[in-house]
Amino acid sequence: AQTVTQSQPEMSVQEAETVTLSCTYDTSENNYYLFWYKQPPSRQMILVIRQEAYKQQNATENRFSVNFQKAAKSFSLKISDSQLGDTAMYFCAFMEGSQGNLIFGKGTKLSVKP
Amino acid sequence: EPEVTQTPSHQVTQMGQEVILRCVPISNHLYFYWYRQILGQKVEFLVSFYNNEISEKSEIFDDQFSVERPDGSNFTLKIRSTKLEDSAMYFCASSEWREDEQYFGPGTRLTVT
């Protein structure tokens, strides 16, 4: 069974600094997708970024980028120029290509300090 | 921008009662999902739905749970006889295709007393 591990329960960063959140996963599949979701205090789940496993190029969305290391089964999220509004729980999620269900990690609580 | 909506935002019910949680997925999406998040824990998959039938379900999704798409817009999750441990945030999500990103609704907080 696939598993997703986020080893950092909590992190903090100063406003305008850069922070990296870690995620590792375990799968024997070759066709899969990886996601980062953000959950602010309102508890709404918001998609941050998506990566297809067959793509070597790391996904980027404005201040958010990933470091996808397929051989190491690692998928970290880098947030540049951190803003107060980035304060949230961040969940890493895995989806096997032949199925639609997301498997989530336990999350990392990120606090951005002024 | 289209969004997934869920009603009610908060539901309080007594143990043993039936509840129906409602969702309106994004209109051109074909795949629908329910997830739950017990307070302080990770988000867990319950069920996926495509072409008017369940395509995947987890071990959590037992006989007490059912899903339905009663018309062209709503997608519902029914819990027949609620238990205390069903207290959680329930999220509906939808995607255009199976491998696409899933867009989540704001959630329904279910409290079973």
**pLDDT tens string B56-98:** 999 999 999 999 998 878 999 999 999 999 999 999 999 999 8
B75 vs A: CB within 8 A: no
How far is CA B86 from each of CA A27, B20, B24, B79, rounded to the nearest angstrom? 29, 13, 22, 9
> Residue A109: what pLDDT?
96
pLDDT at site B71: 87
Q: Spell out a b/e string for B8-39, using b for 16 or more CB atoms within 10 Å of the CB, else e.
A: eeebebeeeeebebbbbbbeebebbbbbbbee
Query: What confidence score (pLDDT) does residue B1 get?
Result: 77
Nearest-angstrom CA–CA distance, A56 and A93: 18
- A63-111 pLDDT, tens digit each: 999 999 999 999 999 999 999 999 999 999 999 887 889 999 999 999 9
Closest CA to A27 of A72, A57, A78: A72
B90 touches chain A (CB under 8 A): no
Using the predicted structure, report yes or no on whether residue B34 has a pLDDT greater than 80.
Answer: yes
Q: How many of the other CB atoms lie within 10 Å of CB of A16?
A: 11
pLDDT exceeds 80 at position B47? yes
Under 8 Å CB-to-CB from A42, ≥6 apart: which residues? B106
pLDDT tens, residue by residue, A20-54 = 999 999 999 889 999 999 999 888 889 999 999 99
CB pairs under 8 A between A and B: 58
Predicted pLDDT at B96:
93
Give how far B13 is from chain A: nearest CA, Å: 21
pLDDT at position A93, please? 96
Percentage of chain B modeled with pLDDT above 90:
88
Q: Among residues 1-40 of chain B, which lie with CB inside 8 Å of chain A?
A: 31, 33, 35, 37
SS3 content of chain B, % helix, strand, coil (to 5): 5, 50, 45
SS3 sequence, B60-107?
Answer: CCCCCEEEECCCCCCEEEEECCCCHHHCEEEEEEEECCCCCCCEECCC
CA B51 from centroid of its chain's CA atoms? 17
Cα of A113 to nearest chain B Cα, Å: 22
Is some CB atom of chain A closer than 8 A to the CB atom of B56? Answer: yes
- B60 exposure class (CB count in 10 Å sphere: 0-12, 13-18, 19+): middle
Using the beta-carbon criterion (under 8 Å), do A50 and B101 form an inter-chain contact? yes
The answer on pLDDT for A1 being more than 80 is: no
The number of residues making up chain B comes to 113
| Strands A46-52, A60-61: pairing kind | unpaired
* pLDDT for B99 beyond 90: no
User: Which amino acid makes up residue B98?
Assistant: R
Q: How far is CA B71 from CA A101, B14, B22, B52, B76, in A?
A: 23, 28, 12, 10, 10
Q: What is the pLDDT of residue A68?
A: 96
Residue A56 confidence (pLDDT): 86
